[in-house]
Amino acid sequence: MTVVNALLRIARSAMPLGLLYVGKLIIDKVVTISHSQVKEMTQLWELVGLEFALAILTDALSRAITLMDSLLGDLFSNHTSVKIMAHAATLDLDQFEDSVFYDKLERARQQTVGRTILLSQVMSQVQDLITMGFLAVGLMTFNPWLIILLLIAIIPAFLGESYFNDRSYALTRGQTPERRELDYIRYLGASDETAKEVKIFDLSGFIINRFKQLSNKFYADNKRLAINRSLWGTFFAMLGSLGYYGAYVVIIIRAVQGSVTIGELAFLAGSFRQLRALLEGILTRFTAVSQGAIYLRDFFEFFEIEPKIKLSASGLPFPETIQQGFTFEDVGFRYLNSDKWANRHLSFTLYPGEKLALVGENGAGKTTLVKLLSRLYDPTEGRILLDGIDLREYDLADLRLNVGIIFQDYLRYQMSFAQNIAVGKISEQDNRPLIEHSARQSLADVLAAKLPGAYDQQLGKRFADGVELSGGEWQKVALARAYMRDAQLLILDEPTSALDARAEFSVFERFAELTKGRSAVLISHRFSTVRMADRILVLEKGELVEIGSHEELLLKGGRYAELFDLQAAGYR
Ligand SMILES: Nc1ncnc2c1ncn2[C@@H]1O[C@H](COP(=O)(O)OP(=O)(O)OP(=O)(O)O)[C@@H](O)[C@H]1O
């Protein structure tokens, strides 16, 4: 389609010269006929017919080009959106948590909507340049100096525009973090997810003020640049007009002297008028195109970002059955741009089939530890071994397939009940028996039976006919995801915090039974749950302080015993 579009544009660019030239022939013919005795009109009518045909063709070509532009624009937008999502999927979690990365992603994303017209603009630019070329050749045959005069007059305007393009790009680029904040504030101010708190805390005034503050700042910055640009633009345009009228005067003088015919005068004047309009168009578009081009740099920059967690060259398959377990060897981890260790000096082994509970106060590093275990991050120091081999040696996709993990901040997909479970292993999204089986394991099946649409019930309030679930109900649905895959290691990060006591008890009773022979890591603040684990690992400020069974740790009378007593006292 792009090639056809280009060919149509080339054809279209020859039209103005053709039309002008036929116009010139018609005028000269009329003058000749009016001066002659015999009124032979056939040739004249032929010429008029030709101009009519050219006019219709010009219009048809323009319409075809516009149609193709809009189709190409849509395709471009869809294609780039898909490319961005696909590339984003290859990147690491910590890259998403980096604000510099986010700014790049944001700028790349803007290209998909804002820059779809870039292609058609570039093509229009080329088309207009070719048209100008045709017209210029026409003019050149009369007087080459005229063209040079025009070009000299237009150069300052080009330079001025490109200078302001750079300035405006630098300004927009500098504003990216604030623009993200602006988007975020817009989301806070008007979204189904935030409406509840905004009302309860009466935040709308606060949000609107912040929005005004930021948007006024943008306005002030942009205004200054826009005014400068406009003033200089007017001045440069005047120079352009001066060149144009200078050339025009030369032609008029020559026509008066009789060295060009009336038809030629019409042709030259027409060519000049068109050239001027084209130059103006080119200049305006030049701004848009060069801006688009510098913005495209962001787009390509985003695609240059490489994931750090690389697939290892060896890509060992995950063991059929884990033999020795996962061993942490003095593992430490620090988040990007943070000088605090989230995990440090961790050394322990998670044995095959073992149920290990992680205990510790908020921020002790429990979630970080399981993220390391599933290779969402790689350790900053030390290493994690699986059956004696570094985790990094294993095939990443295979590892992920064998490690099932449900986070405390799991997603509530605004999709059907079945799809909400199927995301646990999306390749099985049509396997209804497996989905129903998984729902039974997490006790979500009872819930499905109560929903009007059962497994096909749309969940959440965002789309029509959606049903909102309670916190605990959502959790049961999310928990079912863990059972979708036959993972050898199951990680549940506070999966039952929203469940009532009875539901939690049943979930864990089943969990122990269902994960027989498989390893599991549980994170929970409820000691009634924790005590069901084979061993408990107590974390404090990212470091391991105790590890052992519930009984051993109670006997030891250390940190665990203290925390356990504290909670038990609360129940007495
Ligand atoms: N994405 C992140 N970027 C930077 N620092 C982080 C990030 N996530 C966690 N941290 C920091 O790492 C430390 C450990 O966090 P982690 O989430 O592992 O704690 P946790 O024990 O799971 O806490 P909780 O019981 O509250 O869930 C915290 O001090 C936290 O501030």
Helix axes 262-304, 118-140, angle to 10 degrees: 150
Q: Which helix (H) or strand (E) holds 122?
A: helix 118-140
Q: Which atom of ligand 1 is nearest to the CA of 369?
A: 18
Q: What is residue 418's predicted lDDT score, i.e. its pLDDT?
A: 92
Mutate to test the pocket of ligand 1, among 340, 367, 496, 526 (most ligand atoms within 8 A of CB): 367
Asked whether residue 166 is assigned to any structural domain, the reply reads yes
Alpha carbon of 362 to ligand 1 centroid (Å): 8
Asked whether residue 223 is assigned to any structural domain, the reply reads yes
CA distance readout (Å), 516 to 57, 354, 482, 490, 509: 77, 9, 14, 11, 11
* Residue 522 in contact with ligand 1 by CB distance below 6 A: no
Burial class, 568, CB count within 10 angstroms (exposed 0-12 / middle 13-18 / buried 19+): exposed
Cα–Cα dist 71/127, whole Å: 18
Answer yes or no: do 36 and 137 share one domain: yes
* Residue 338 in contact with ligand 1 by CB distance below 6 A: yes
Answer yes or no: do 391 and 280 share one domain: no
Asked whether residue 436 is assigned to any structural domain, the reply reads no
Sign of the dihedral defined by the CA atoms of residues 173, 178, 182, 188, in that order: positive
Q: Which atom of ligand 1 is nearest to the CA of 368?
A: 18
Q: Is residue 328 within 8 Å of residue 348, measured between CB atoms? A: yes
* Residue 342 in contact with ligand 1 by CB distance below 6 A: yes
Nearest to residue 330, comparing CAs of 127, 537, 543, 153?
Answer: 543
Answer yes or no: do 106 and 204 share one domain: yes
SS3 for 78-119 is: HHHHHHHHHHHHHCCHHHHCCHHHHHHHHHHHHHHHHCCCHH
Asked whether residue 441 is assigned to any structural domain, the reply reads no
Alpha carbon of 488 to ligand 1 centroid (Å): 25
Asked whether residue 319 is assigned to any structural domain, the reply reads no
Q: What residue owns the CA closest to ligand 1's atom 16?
A: 365
* Residue 98 in contact with ligand 1 by CB distance below 6 A: no
* Residue 365 in contact with ligand 1 by CB distance below 6 A: yes
pTM, two decimal places: 0.73
Q: What residue owns the CA closest to ligand 1's atom 6?
A: 335
* Residue 366 in contact with ligand 1 by CB distance below 6 A: yes
**Structural domain boundaries enclosing 484:** 326-412+475-571
Among 245, 269, 304, give the residue marking a domain's end: 304
Answer yes or no: do 166 and 19 share one domain: yes
Q: Which atom of ligand 1 is nearest to the CA of 94?
A: 1
Mutate to test the pocket of ligand 1, among 368, 371, 492 (most ligand atoms within 8 A of CB): 368
Q: Which atom of ligand 1 is nearest to the CA of 93?
A: 1
Q: What residue owns the CA closest to ligand 1's atom 5?
A: 335
* Residue 158 in contact with ligand 1 by CB distance below 6 A: no
Answer yes or no: do 89 and 149 share one domain: yes
Q: What residue owns the CA closest to ligand 1's atom 30?
A: 363
* CATH number reported for the structural domain that contains residue 237 in this entry: 1.20.1560.10
Among 304, 334, 366, give the residue marking a domain's end: 304
Q: Which residues of 219-249 are buried (b: 16+ CB within 10 A; e: fewer)?
A: eeeeeeeeeebeebbeebbebbeebbeebbe
Q: Is residue 316 within 8 Å of residue 394, measured between CB atoms? A: yes
Alpha carbon of 365 to ligand 1 centroid (Å): 6
Cα–Cα dist 2/9, whole Å: 10
Mutate to test the pocket of ligand 1, among 341, 346, 366 (most ligand atoms within 8 A of CB): 366
Q: What residue owns the CA closest to ligand 1's atom 4?
A: 335
The count of structural domains within the chain is 2
Q: What residue owns the CA closest to ligand 1's atom 3?
A: 335
Answer yes or no: do 245 and 370 share one domain: no
Answer yes or no: do 268 and 338 share one domain: no
* Residue 360 in contact with ligand 1 by CB distance below 6 A: yes
Answer yes or no: do 284 and 347 share one domain: no
* Residue 368 in contact with ligand 1 by CB distance below 6 A: yes
Residue 38 DSSP label: S
Q: What residue owns the CA closest to ligand 1's atom 25?
A: 362
Q: What is residue 279's predicted lDDT score, i.e. its pLDDT?
A: 78
Answer yes or no: do 355 and 218 share one domain: no
* CATH number reported for the structural domain that contains residue 341 in this entry: 3.40.50.300
Sheet with 341-350, strands from edge to edge, namely 341-350, 326-334, 381-386, 389-390
Q: Which atom of ligand 1 is nearest to the CA of 361?
A: 25
Asked whether residue 433 is assigned to any structural domain, the reply reads no
Residue 454 DSSP label: G
Asked whether residue 495 is assigned to any structural domain, the reply reads yes
Alpha carbon of 427 to ligand 1 centroid (Å): 31
Asked whether residue 206 is assigned to any structural domain, the reply reads yes
Alpha carbon of 342 to ligand 1 centroid (Å): 7
* Residue 496 in contact with ligand 1 by CB distance below 6 A: no
Residue 495 tokens read as: 């999966």
Q: What residue owns the CA closest to ligand 1's atom 26?
A: 362
SS3 for 383-441 is: EEEECCEEHHHECHHHHHHHEEEECCCCCCCCCEHHHHHHHHHHHHCCCHHHHHHHHHH
Q: What residue owns the CA closest to ligand 1's atom 24?
A: 362
| Residue 90: half-sphere exposure toward Cβ, Cα within 13 Å | 14
Sheet with 519-523, strands from edge to edge, namely 403-406, 489-493, 519-523, 355-360, 535-540, 543-548
Q: Is 503 left (phi over 0), alpha (psi -120 to 50) or beta?
A: alpha
DSSP characters over 258-302: TSS-HHHHHHHHHHHHHHHHHHHHHHHHHHHHHHHHHHHHHHHHH
Distance of alpha carbon 496 from the chain centroid: 33
Alpha carbon of 366 to ligand 1 centroid (Å): 8
Answer yes or no: do 119 and 183 share one domain: yes
Answer yes or no: do 265 and 348 share one domain: no
Answer yes or no: do 540 and 492 share one domain: yes
Complex ipTM, two decimals?
A: 0.95
Alpha carbon of 239 to ligand 1 centroid (Å): 62
Mean pLDDT by 10 residues, the chain (572 residues): 83 86 89 83 89 92 88 82 84 79 75 64 83 81 74 78 82 80 86 83 89 90 90 85 80 83 83 79 76 73 78 77 91 88 92 91 90 90 92 88 85 90 90 92 87 89 84 86 87 78 74 78 84 90 91 89 80 60
Q: Which atom of ligand 1 is nearest to the CA of 343?
A: 14
Among 255, 272, 304, give the residue marking a domain's end: 304
